[in-house]
Amino acid sequence: MSFEDLFEEIKNSYDIVDVVSSYVRLKKVGKNFVGFCPFHSEKTPSFVVSPEKQIFKCFGCGAAGDVVTFYTKIKGLTFKEALLELAEKAGISVEKNFFVEKKKEKGLAEFNYKIAKFYHHLLYFHSSSKLAREYLEQRGIKEETIKNFLLGFAPQDGRVLAGYLRNTSEDLAKGEELGLIKRTSDGSYIDLFRGRIIFPIFNLKGECVGFGARALDKDAEPKYLNTPESKIFKKSEILYGFYQSKEAIKKENLGILVEGYFDFLSLWERDIKNVVATCGTALTEKHVKLMKTLTENWIIFYDGDLAGKKATLRAISLFLKEGILPKCVILSEEDDPDSWARKEGLEGETLKRKIEKLTVDAISFVINFYDEEYKINSSKAFKEIMEVFKSTEDPFLRNHIARELSFYLGIPENEILKYFVKDVYTEEIPGKPIEKAKEDVPGLRNIAQFLINYPEYYLELESSGLSRLLEFYPDTLYGRFLKHLIEEFKRGNKEIDYIPDLEFQEVLSDLLLEPPFENKEEALNHIKIYIKRELAKKEIRKVTENLKLLQVKGSKEEIERYLLILKNSITGKLIRENKF
């Protein structure tokens, strides 16, 4: 069975209303069912399920897709994992190699959990564990938290875990694969963790996928150590405490991001449960995408020193790329979240209010960081400020940032907005598109919606230059989606109701739930005009850019030739516009 066939059979085996009803309380409204979105907090239900089209759409957060997409999101699985679980539940026979990797990964996670319990046991019963327990007590970590997070202890003797695993060759092999033990030159094994507090790390499903460890000796290097990357442990995709805190984050519609294990535990001890931490690595795009599934309201709570502030700037940029403008806590130079929380001696709502007093929006944080430098060298500081914000792709968010920066810096909004798109056009490179716009283009979305409803018109739009237009938008979501549609149409597939690609399937479901065009002929005409106008703009832009280059290094004859082309292009554009 092919992947596509498996996908189709799984979809046919489930009614999306039945699946969604297991997680969302639905009410029938007309042909559809409506309820509160499980992917974000809302006061008015905006989550719609269509039994006719077997898709869902949230008009609040934008989540959309079919039954597989829903299951993927609600369970926190990869697309492949969701397919396999749904197939298993539906009793669909799948070739063994589909399950081999999943079974192995599950076995590694179970092995890790066994090791976590072993280290947890040593924290209480090993002869040298008193120092570790005293250290946790000094850091304000109580018994309940120690047990909830299965904290452990690795003795200084480097062969305790190796000795525990020596009973079976299979356990030794797993321990070596996961980096928990290492084979020495004499063939014996030595433990990775020695003289350290152990922090088991769980994924979104509650599986133990890796470990972090903090040295008890203040002079030991490195201070923090993680198990190496493996099939089940990828630091760029996993957040410490995410499994335990996800419900609190959903409930409060707010999350707090910290950098360290003790920063996390210190807040957790004080009844701040909507918190997550990176696992000894810098924040990544994958982290932010994961966090966005719970809420779009985030507070970055990093160390107050220069390194912490720089890390906050980088985190802001990553959040902005996902369309989120976070808030940031400003601490004094000597504080980090853990030391600050212990020093304040507050907890619960009182501590939350204290955090709120130290919290500013990301724009204010950036301006505050560059305040002194801006006074000394405003040009250099402005460029660095815009480096933080230039990742923003959402046009509304861009406008908001431009307004705020204009107010703070006294620079016109339009000048700030120019910086966001200064790299949109480049010099002419043979065989490559002129424009490299990465944000989604509303006009392309309208074309996609039209072709989903009226695929019979794709040849007419092709003759109007659709494929040529798409060459200018290779990195946009709808640009790629339209190229995929055209390929399907060329193969004779006109009824597109699923695409075996999670990102494209969400787009497809979103478009299918949109109301059809009232007048398809009028819509077609508008789209053809749009395509011709956009192509004319690109042509004029290309010639203009070439003229700029020729003014520097071109001959008079070449300049005159391009001026003529530009004149004809503009004239032709005006004539075409007047025809409609």
Give per-10-residue mean pLDDT for the chain (580 aa): 73 92 88 89 86 89 89 85 86 70 85 98 97 96 97 95 91 95 93 98 93 94 94 92 94 95 97 95 92 92 96 97 95 96 94 96 96 92 94 88 91 86 40 39 84 88 90 85 88 72 74 72 87 80 58 54 54 41
Query: What's the pLDDT score for residue 297?
Result: 95
Query: What's the pLDDT score for residue 229?
Result: 93
Task: Give the list of residues 6+ apart from residue 30 with CB closer than 8 angstroms, or none.
Answer: none
Q: Tell me whether strands 55-58 and 64-65 are parallel, antiparallel or unpaired.
A: antiparallel
Are residue 572 and residue 526 in the same domain, yes or no? yes
Query: What's the pLDDT score for residue 183?
Result: 93
Asked whether residue 19 is assigned to any structural domain, the reply reads yes
Please check whether residue 140 is in contact with residue 156, taking contact to mean a CB–CB distance below 8 angstroms. no
Are residue 558 and residue 456 in the same domain, yes or no? yes
Asked whether residue 433 is assigned to any structural domain, the reply reads no
Query: What's the pLDDT score for residue 31?
Result: 83
**C-alpha span between 227 and 224 (Å, rounded):** 10
Asked whether residue 100 is assigned to any structural domain, the reply reads no
Are residue 462 and residue 556 in the same domain, yes or no? yes
Q: Tell me whether strands 47-50 and 32-35 are parallel, antiparallel or unpaired.
A: antiparallel
Asked whether residue 472 is assigned to any structural domain, the reply reads yes
Asked whether residue 233 is assigned to any structural domain, the reply reads no
Q: Which of 397, 401, 403, 321 is closest to 365 using CA atoms?
A: 401
Are residue 40 and residue 110 in the same domain, yes or no? no
Tokens of 353: 């209010």
If one counts the domains in the chain, the total is 5
Asked whether residue 524 is assigned to any structural domain, the reply reads yes
- Percentage of the chain beyond pLDDT 90 is 51
Asked whether residue 244 is assigned to any structural domain, the reply reads yes
Please check whether residue 48 is in contact with residue 56, taking contact to mean a CB–CB distance below 8 angstroms. yes
Query: What's the pLDDT score for residue 570?
Result: 46
Are residue 267 and residue 362 in the same domain, yes or no? yes
Are residue 64 and residue 130 in the same domain, yes or no? no
Query: What's the pLDDT score for residue 429?
Result: 29
**C-alpha span between 158 and 68 (Å, rounded):** 46
Are residue 253 and residue 337 in the same domain, yes or no? yes
Are residue 192 and residue 292 in the same domain, yes or no? no
Amino acid at 380: K
Asked whether residue 8 is assigned to any structural domain, the reply reads yes
Are residue 328 and residue 249 in the same domain, yes or no? yes
Domain containing 520 equals 442-579
Are residue 357 and residue 378 in the same domain, yes or no? no
- Looking at 40, 56, 90, the residue that finishes a domain is 90
The CATH number of the domain where 351 resides is what? 3.40.1360.10
Q: Which of 69, 75, 63 is closest to 39 using CA atoms?
A: 63
Are residue 243 and residue 363 in the same domain, yes or no? yes
Query: What's the pLDDT score for residue 535?
Result: 84
- Looking at 226, 255, 285, the residue that finishes a domain is 226
Please check whether residue 272 is in contact with residue 353, taking contact to mean a CB–CB distance below 8 angstroms. no
